[in-house]
């Protein structure tokens, strides 16, 4: 249960979409009943007949080298910074962060690369590249990361931002989401038979699919007392949020809306609001047969007879489905509806066409209605569900009753699992460490995974997904969890990955480029989405808690570990499956320029079981380590490595020794003695996690000059990792010696 111990407020918003270049333009289109769905002109290949969707207006910079998403994110960024009055002198504050949500990130760059084979054309593929290009005009120094939970990513970024504010790590956080129109997304959703030739008709009896769109949405979140102290204009208060997993299917929602209903109930449980307080529901409402039916079932189970009296709007009837941008964009529009006390019309349907008679969707022009509180919901592939409750700043704040579970608690690691080439599984990995054998580059042989995963069930999965599951199964055995099903009911998951299922994504996309949209493979599309790893963890374990994936950065694994620890420490979660994985990819080698820097890639995965110390002791678990403080920063300057280390040490005390895994300054891969090999071995986001797993599993401290194999590990140490695009993360661990 998440019970907010403080009030987060929205003090600024920026929005670019098919119905406007800023949030006020977008709201004006809503009040006029003006749809942004029209013929798509920016999709990368010609499609006949020409498809329709929610495409943002063209911009002069579209002819430049800047990616489409960066151009429009900068527009949204400028709007939100202007609204909150954040000038250049205050943008370098390390306590200001940014979290973006996305479904597919920079896939358009991947298409350019497949057509030209120029390495420069793929540079925008990684989410960290998008963030770095977005932040170029600013002296940004604080946290900068990207999360993916498919189409719930936009709302999920908001939930994560609130957690970091509550933890006291940030004073201000920009949150939101984006996804550009792309042939990759269109062909994938089309292959799943989810795209309609008609305009979307949410909740209608004859609905037959969605239309894709694009939006670029950013919101500024602050603590209420901070906003009040500086006289900020408060747009809305965040009164509660909830996140869950279906644990049902990779691309289909639970037919009874189980996960969505639990997300809504979790949001209510953590707030002082009741269902009768809600004046407007902003539904996910994709207009696909299964999704709308599932969402209706979820809403009905929570609101019951009250559903027929609670106004509901489906903003996708204006925007199309904007994927990772949807939740944040629709939350901005929901806040504007609350501000004006008007219920917008849902387009393209008549009351007589509705399949569900007891849903109060407004099919007529907008009307005035008192709206003091709202509920927004987003649902995504992999069964990811997010819900956010808003309250009007004009309504007196009512704080929830204190939740005794929301007290600061120690966070411990009770399980570790590792898989690397020629070291698959904990036993083989420990042997490699103890014997001092050099790490091996390249991929992992499929046959080596036998005994660690069910190869019959995983045969169609990407290597990335297999690495995640193999490392997770080893972590669970290491944690000696006897009843996995019960353990997973209240378990969250955060995974990190630099490039995810890039091999599947490339194979899928190559076929689309070479043979056209109709050739898209639905299995490879589903397996190529960035959050597929957490989806498979949920399906394998029956995990019902929240699931997010930090993507596109070398710090993603350490970010995931740090963020999960934060949420457990402040009582949001009780336990989590956390870690990172990256598969070997020849294209990724070119993307990172490893060979030019004396590096060779290898596949790998390291996963951890995290619990509150009380939970671990209650089940008699052994404890590897306690997780201490963490800190985040961003610096992409010419002397980044030194500046990045200073950003972390200025925020938290870093005990000696410090295990460094920096992307620049010759500290990228796992260190090897100079006379042993020409190259260092790099496992991307798994490299810094490998330093931790070596210390905890093998009692071997991989320091600056190689393995110190005397069997001793310092009682406390820090891990520091950075990414080529500027992100840096630091984490402190205290080793626990078990009898």
Q: pLDDT higher for 314 or 405? A: 314
Residue whose tokens read 């955060």: 494
- Is 163 contained in some domain? yes
- Number of structural domains (the chain) is 2
**What are the DSSP E strand ranges found in 55-151?**
96-102, 144-148
| Partners of 53 in beta bridges | 38
Over residues 283-296, the mean pLDDT reads 97
Locate 205 and state its tokens: 């009896």
From 357, 391, 425, give the residue that closes a domain. Answer: 391
- pLDDT in the model for residue 446: 87
Q: Give the model's confidence band at 398: pLDDT under 50 very low, under 70 low, under 90 confident, else very high.
A: low
- Give the model's pLDDT for residue 460: 86
Question: What average pLDDT does range 253-260 have in this prediction?
Answer: 95
Q: Are residues 689 and 660 in the same domain?
A: yes
Is residue 30 situated within a structural domain? yes
> What pLDDT is stored for residue 673 in this prediction?
36
Residues 359 and 450 in one domain: no
Give the pLDDT band (50/70/90) at residue 88. low
Could you tell me if 339 and 466 lie in one domain?
no
Task: Note whether residue 708 is domain-resident.
Answer: yes
Of the residues 391, 425, 446, which one is the last residue of a structural domain? 391
Among 477, 733, 731, 471, smallest CA distance to 625 is for 733
The DSSP H or E segment spanning 329 is helix 326-340
Judgement on whether residues 422 and 380 belong to the same structural domain of the protein: no
Q: Tell me, yes or no, whether 401 lies in a domain.
A: no
The CATH number assigned to the domain holding 650 equals: 3.40.47.10
Has residue 441 been placed in a domain? yes
Q: 3-state DSSP call for residue 351?
A: helix
Structure tokens at 145: 């990361």
pLDDT confidence band for 598 (50 / 70 / 90): low
Q: What is the mean pLDDT of residues 171-185?
A: 97
Assess if residue 667 is contained within a domain: yes
The residue-averaged pLDDT of 127-131 equals 95
Q: Establish if 589 belongs to a structural domain.
A: yes
Which segments within 246-391 are labelled E, that is strand?
A: 280-282, 311-313, 342-343, 360-361, 367-368, 373-380, 384-391
In the Cβ-directed half-sphere of 403, how many Cα atoms lie within 13 Å?
Answer: 20
Question: In terms of domains, do 264 and 201 share one?
Answer: yes
pLDDT tier at 739, thresholds 50, 70, 90:
low
- Looking at the structure, do residues 333 and 451 belong to the same domain, yes or no? no
Q: Is the pLDDT of residue 709 over 90?
A: no
Q: Are residues 357 and 502 in the same domain?
A: no
**Do both 148 and 255 map to the same domain?**
yes
pLDDT at 406 over 70: no
460 and 373 inside one domain: no
421, 376: one domain:
no
User: In this predicted model, what pLDDT tens digit does every residue of 315-373 receive, in sequence order?
Assistant: 999 999 999 999 999 999 999 999 999 999 999 999 999 999 999 999 999 999 999 99
Radius of gyration of the chain (CA): 24
What does pTM read for this prediction? 0.95
In this model, does residue 735 exceed pLDDT 50?
Answer: yes
The answer on pLDDT for 708 being more than 60 is no
Of 341, 357, 391, the last residue of a domain is 391
- Which residue segment(s) compose the domain that 26 sits in? 8-391
Q: 594 and 652 in one domain?
A: yes
Say if residue 599's pLDDT is above 90.
Answer: no
pLDDT of residue 489: 87
User: What mean pLDDT is predicted for residues 579-595?
Assistant: 83
Lowest pLDDT segment from 40-44, 391-395, 475-479, 634-638 = 634-638
The answer to whether residue 39 sits within a structural domain is yes
Q: Are residues 387 and 423 in the same domain?
A: no
């Amino acid at each position: 249960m998440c019970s907010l111990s403080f009030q987060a407020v929205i003090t600024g918003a920026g929005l670019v979409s098919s119905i406007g270049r800023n949030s006020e333009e977008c709201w004006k289109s809503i009040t006029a009943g003006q749809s942004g769905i029209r013929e798509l002109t920016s999709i990368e290949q010609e499609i006949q007949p020409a498809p329709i969707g929610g495409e943002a207006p063209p911009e002069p910079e579209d002819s430049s080298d800047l990616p489409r998403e960066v151009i429009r994110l900068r527009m949204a960024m400028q709007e939100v910074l202007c609204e909150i009055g954040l000038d250049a002198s205050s943008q370098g504050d390390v306590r200001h962060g940014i979290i973006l949500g996305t479904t597919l990130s920079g896939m358009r760059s991947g298409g350019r690369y497949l057509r030209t084979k120029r390495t420069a054309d793929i540079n925008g593929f990684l989410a960290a590249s998008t963030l770095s290009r977005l932040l170029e005009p600013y002296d940004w120094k604080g946290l900068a990361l990207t999360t993916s939970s498919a189409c719930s990513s936009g709302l999920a970024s908001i939930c994560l931002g609130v957690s970091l504010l509550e933890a006291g790590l940030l004073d201000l956080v920009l949150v939101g989401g984006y996804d550009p129109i792309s042939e990759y997304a269109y062909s994938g959703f089309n292959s799943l038979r989810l795209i309609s030739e008609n305009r979307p008709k949410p909740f209608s009896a004859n609905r037959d699919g969605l239309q894709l769109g694009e939006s670029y949405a950013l919101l500024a979140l602050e603590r209420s007392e901070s906003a009040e102290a500086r006289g900020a204009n408060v747009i809305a208060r965040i009164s509660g949020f909830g996140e869950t997993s279906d644990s049902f299917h990779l691309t289909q929602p639970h037919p009874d809306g189980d996960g969505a209903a639990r997300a809504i109930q979790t949001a209510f449980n953590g707030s002082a609001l009741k269902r009768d307080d809600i004046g407007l529901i902003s539904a996910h409402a994709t207009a696909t047969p299964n999704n709308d039916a599932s969402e209706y079932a979820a809403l009905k189970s929570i609101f019951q007879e009250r559903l027929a009296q609670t106004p509901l709007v489906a903003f996708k009837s204006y925007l199309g489905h904007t994927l990772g941008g949807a939740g944040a964009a629709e939350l901005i529009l929901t806040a504007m509806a609350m501000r004006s006390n008007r219920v917008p019309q849902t387009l393209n349907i008549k009351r007589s066409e509705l399949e569900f008679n007891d849903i109060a969707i407004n099919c007529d022009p907008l009307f005035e209605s008192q709206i003091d509180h709202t509920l927004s919901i987003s649902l995504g592939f992999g069964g990811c569900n997010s819900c956010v409750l808003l309250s009007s700043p004009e309504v007196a704040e009512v704080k929830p009753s204190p939740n005794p579970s929301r007290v600061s608690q120690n966070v411990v690691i009770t399980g570790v699992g590792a898989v690397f080439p020629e070291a698959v599984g904990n036993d083989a990995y420990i042997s490699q460490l103890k014997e001092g054998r050099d790490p091996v580059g390249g991929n992992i042989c499929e046959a080596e995974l036998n005994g660690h995963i069910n190869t019959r069930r995983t045969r169609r999965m990407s290597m990335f997904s297999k690495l995640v599951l193999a490392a997770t199964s080893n972590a669970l055995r290491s944690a000696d969890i006897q009843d996995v099903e019960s353990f997973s009911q209240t378990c969250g998951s955060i995974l990190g990955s630099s490039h995810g299922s890039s091999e599947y994504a490339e194979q899928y996309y190559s076929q689309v480029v070479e043979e056209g949209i109709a050739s898209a493979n639905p299995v490879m599309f589903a397996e190529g989405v960035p959050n597929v790893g957490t989806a498979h963890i949920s399906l394998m374990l029956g995990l019902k808690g929240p699931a997010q994936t930090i993507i596109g950065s070398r710090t993603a694994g350490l970010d995931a570990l740090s963020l999960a620890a934060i949420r457990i420490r402040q009582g949001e979660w009780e336990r989590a499956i956390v870690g990172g994985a990256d598969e070997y990819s020849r294209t990724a080698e070119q993307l990172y320029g490893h060979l030019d820097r004396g590096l060779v890639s290898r596949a790998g995965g390291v996963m951890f079981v995290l619990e509150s110390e009380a939970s671990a002791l209650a089940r008699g678990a052994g404890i590897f380590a306690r997780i201490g403080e963490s800190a985040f920063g961003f610096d992409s300057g010419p002397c980044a490595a030194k500046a990045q280390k200073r950003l972390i040490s200025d925020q938290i005390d870093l005990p000696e020794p410090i295990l460094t895994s920096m992307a620049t300054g010759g500290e990228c891969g796992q260190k090897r003695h100079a006379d042993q090999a020409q190259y260092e071995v790099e496992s991307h986001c798994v490299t810094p996690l490998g330093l931790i797993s070596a210390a905890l599993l093998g009692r071997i401290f991989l320091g600056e000059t190689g393995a110190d194999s005397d069997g001793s590990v310092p009682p406390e140490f820090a891990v520091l990792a950075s990414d080529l695009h500027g992100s840096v993360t630091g984490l402190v661990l205290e080793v626990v010696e078990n009898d």
